[in-house]
């Protein structure tokens, strides 16, 4: 006998039907299950009309709606503050239980706690589950039961715990979709929703109805697109450890946007890595890729245990002494920051990377490290400004990974690069884009330069530039800073950290 008669499954960052923890448990525990997604106007309001994330979510919801429809169910869509809209949908659909998956961001946790308290007081059961992470919250702790702040021992423990807890096993929700509430005959009680949300409807509004337009260079959304990308990546796992740092190669999975919105289960990725690691040929690549999934969980648990890092939109250094650093301010810093955002630094690899994020909403991981380090250690601009810029641009923007990685680059995070480690952008360029493939793709005005000059056009002989038809200052900017001088300034700036020890 099912525990509940009428459950409501609230989809958030988990827009799929396969291997879905909360959906699996809802389908097993209730006689029938309604499905809901809520557009939160407070989250949509600051976004530009052609925001790529909204387009991705919209396409993924369309795909999710079709999958539910094919199984006889439907996806209810509401728009309103979830704190009011979700309880209203529970009432309107006559649900006796609400199911959803955990979120680790402080604002989402507060929202979920408010909804849980309100519904529990009304006698509605609330069940929530781990789904975004392989291991979450307190599942990986040190011997003294404290959260880890160093990645390597965390990963060792993560691997052991994941194996013993069978944390990669699927939750085969797709096998139980016959428990979806049938489409016909469900008429929500409008009186319950009128005051709580703009609408509750069994139809996905168009992007235009939501106040948005089609995105430039959209990324294909939905579960099927995600599965195709995973299949496409599988043969490349073998060499991942050797190739992942080269942005000119299509060596990484590109799946981060799908993990962000849960159009693919992270457990499916981990199983793929585990299976590949059984063969000697693929072992090193698969293990390195699995480590990246562990980094993702690591940053989730850092944010879970240290919500102060992002409270009230005032992002703080993980190591408090780093908040004493005096970043550049004033017009010159504003101009430098604008040049960085607009790919006008005069450092070709940095500019190519910034064009990649601006044009596509994605940036290769090596380049994220290069441009982040360049912003705070070559330009002396506060890392929080870069973090906020990435948050606006990245399709895969995730508060925990973005904050954790920016703090890594600024050296203020847990297990960050040491403060005196300052990437040389030219060395990075020559090492990771040696033949200039990536630079030529995004900075075609430099394409005619040879493989030496392309990394630092200002060091090229006048004749080399002339033969390539390039005049610095006209066709491509002069470098914004001298790296050697900037390095000295940064070491002085960070001295405040040294003296605090």
Which of 193, 256, 263, 428 is close enough to bind ligand FAD by CB under 6 A?
256
Shortest approach of ligand FAD to residue 397 CB, angstroms?
Answer: 4
365 a catalytic residue: yes
Shortest approach of ligand FAD to residue 273 CB, angstroms?
Answer: 9
User: Under the criterion CB under 6 A, does residue 51 sit at the interface with ligand FAD?
Assistant: no
458 a catalytic residue: no
Q: Which stretch binds ligand FAD (CB under 6 A): 74-82, 155-163, 199-207, 252-260?
A: 252-260
Other Cβ atoms within 10 Å of 213 Cβ, number: 14
Name the token pair of 112: 């979920």
End-to-end CA separation in angstroms for the chain: 62
User: Under the criterion CB under 6 A, does residue 412 sit at the interface with ligand FAD?
Assistant: no
Shortest approach of ligand FAD to residue 363 CB, angstroms?
Answer: 7
289 a catalytic residue: no
- What are the C-alpha distances in Å from 202 to residues 36, 76, 95, 188, 210? 9, 5, 16, 10, 15
Show the site string, 200-239: x = touches ligand FAD by CB under 6 A, - = not: ----------------------------------------
User: Under the criterion CB under 6 A, does residue 428 sit at the interface with ligand FAD?
Assistant: no
Q: Are strands 30-39 and 75-79 parallel, antiparallel or unpaired?
A: parallel
User: Under the criterion CB under 6 A, does residue 340 sit at the interface with ligand FAD?
Assistant: no
Q: Using CB under 6 A, which residues numbered 377 to 396 contact ligand FAD?
A: 390, 394, 396
295 a catalytic residue: yes
Q: Which stretch binds ligand FAD (CB under 6 A): 46-54, 79-87, 150-158, 397-405?
A: 397-405
- Of 295, 340, 408, 419, catalytic: 295
DSSP 374: I
Which of 13, 244, 261, 377 is close enough to bind ligand FAD by CB under 6 A?
244
340 a catalytic residue: no
Strand partners, 125: 97
- What are the C-alpha distances in Å from 184 to residues 35, 38, 74, 135? 14, 21, 10, 39
171 a catalytic residue: no
Q: Contact 100/22 with Cβ under 8 angstroms?
A: yes
Nearest 5°: the CA angle 492, 494, 498 is: 105
User: Under the criterion CB under 6 A, does residue 149 sit at the interface with ligand FAD?
Assistant: no
Q: Are strands 125-129 and 75-79 parallel, antiparallel or unpaired?
A: unpaired
Shortest approach of ligand FAD to residue 368 CB, angstroms?
Answer: 3
The C-alpha atoms of residue 211 and residue 58 are separated, in whole angstroms, by 12
Compute φ and ψ for 166, nearest 5 degrees.
Answer: 50, 45
Number of residues that bind ligand FAD (CB under 6 A): 27
Taking the CA atoms of residue 102, residue 106, residue 112 and residue 117 in that order, the dihedral angle to the nearest 10 degrees is 130
User: Under the criterion CB under 6 A, does residue 369 sit at the interface with ligand FAD?
Assistant: yes
Q: Which stretch binds ligand FAD (CB under 6 A): 24-32, 105-113, 368-376, 455-463?
A: 368-376
Using H for helix, E for strand and C for coil, what is the string for 241-290?
A: HHHCCCCCCCCCCCCHHHHHHCCCCHHHHHHHHHHHCCCCCCHHHHHHHH
Q: Which stretch binds ligand FAD (CB under 6 A): 84-92, 287-295, 323-331, 459-467?
A: 287-295
Q: Contact 47/394 with Cβ under 8 angstroms?
A: no
Sign of the four-CA dihedral 429, 430, 431, 435: positive
Taking the CA atoms of residue 119, residue 125, residue 130 and residue 131 in that order, the dihedral angle to the nearest 10 degrees is -80
Shortest approach of ligand FAD to residue 299 CB, angstroms?
Answer: 5
User: Under the criterion CB under 6 A, does residue 132 sit at the interface with ligand FAD?
Assistant: no
Which of 116, 272, 402, 412 is close enough to bind ligand FAD by CB under 6 A?
402
Residues 6+ apart with CB under 8 A from 138: 147
- Of 292, 321, 328, 445, catalytic: 292
Which of 56, 295, 318, 438 is close enough to bind ligand FAD by CB under 6 A?
295
Alpha-helix runs per DSSP H in 342-398: 348-360, 365-373, 383-393
For the chain, give the longest Cα–Cα distance: 83
Shortest approach of ligand FAD to residue 251 CB, angstroms?
Answer: 8
Shortest approach of ligand FAD to residue 310 CB, angstroms?
Answer: 12
Nearer to ligand FAD, 99 or 442 (CB): 442
User: Under the criterion CB under 6 A, does residue 357 sit at the interface with ligand FAD?
Assistant: no
Nearer to ligand FAD, 364 or 440 (CB): 364
Kind and range of the H or E run holding 340: helix 330-341
User: Under the criterion CB under 6 A, does residue 368 sit at the interface with ligand FAD?
Assistant: yes
Catalytic residues: 292, 295, 327, 365, 383, 406
Give the binding site for ligand FAD (CB under 6 A): 244, 252-256, 259-260, 292-293, 295-296, 299, 365, 368-369, 372, 390, 394, 396-398, 401-402, 405-406, 409
């Amino acid at each position: 006998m099912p525990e509940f008669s009428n459950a409501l499954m609230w989809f958030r960052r988990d827009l799929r039907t396969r291997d879905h923890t909360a959906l699996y448990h809802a389908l097993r525990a209730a006689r029938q299950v309604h499905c809901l997604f809520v557009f939160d106007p407070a989250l949509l309001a600051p976004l530009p009309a052609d925001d790529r994330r909204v387009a991705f979510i919209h396409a993924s919801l369309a795909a999710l709606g079709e999958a539910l429809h094919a199984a006889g169910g439907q996806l209810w869509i509401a728009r309103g503050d979830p704190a009011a809209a979700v309880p209203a949908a529970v009432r309107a659909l006559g649900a006796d239980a609400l199911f959803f998956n955990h979120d680790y961001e402080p604002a989402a946790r507060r929202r979920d706690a408010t909804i849980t308290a309100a519904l529990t007081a009304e006698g509605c059961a609330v069940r929530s589950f781990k789904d975004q992470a392989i291991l979450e919250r307190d599942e990986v702790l040190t011997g003294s039961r404290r959260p880890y702040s160093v990645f390597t021992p965390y990963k060792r423990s993560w691997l052991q715990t994941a194996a013993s807890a069978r944390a990669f096993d699927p939750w085969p929700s797709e096998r139980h979709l016959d428990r979806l509430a049938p489409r016909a005959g469900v008429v929500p009680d409008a009186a319950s929703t009128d005051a709580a949300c703009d609408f509750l409807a069994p139809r996905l509004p168009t992007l235009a109805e939501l106040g948005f337009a089609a995105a430039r260079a959209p990324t294909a959304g939905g579960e099927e697109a995600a599965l195709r990308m995973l299949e496409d990546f599988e043969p490349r796992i073998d060499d991942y450890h050797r190739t992942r740092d080269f942005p000119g190669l299509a060596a990484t999975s590109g799946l981060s946007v799908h993990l962000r919105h849960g159009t693919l289960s992270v457990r499916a990725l981990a199983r793929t890595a585990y299976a590949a690691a059984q063969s000697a040929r693929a072992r090193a690549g698969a293990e390195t890729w699995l480590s990246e999934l562990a980094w993702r969980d690591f940053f989730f648990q850092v944010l879970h245990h240290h919500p102060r890092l992002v409270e009230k939109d005032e992002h703080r250094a993980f190591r408090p002494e780093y908040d004493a650093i005096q970043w550049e301010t004033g017009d010159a810093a504003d101009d430098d920051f604008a040049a960085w955002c607009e790919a006008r630094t005069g450092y070709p690899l940095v500019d190519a990377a910034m064009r990649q994020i601006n044009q596509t909403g994605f940036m290769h991981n090596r380049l994220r490290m290069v441009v982040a380090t360049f912003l705070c250690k070559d330009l002396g601009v506060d890392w929080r400004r870069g973090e906020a810029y990435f948050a606006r641009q990245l399709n895969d923007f995730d508060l925990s990974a973005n904050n954790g990685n920016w703090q890594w680059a600024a050296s203020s995070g847990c297990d960050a690069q040491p403060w005196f480690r300052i990437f040389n952008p030219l060395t990075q360029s020559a090492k990771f884009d040696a033949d200039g493939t990536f630079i030529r793709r995004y900075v075609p005005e430099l394409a005619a330069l040879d493989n030496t000059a392309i990394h630092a056009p200002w060091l090229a002989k006048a004749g080399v530039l002339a033969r390539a038809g390039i005049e610095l200052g006209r066709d491509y900017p002069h470098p914004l800073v001298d790296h050697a001088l900037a390095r000295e300034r940064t070491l002085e700036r960070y001295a405040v950290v040294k003296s605090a020890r």
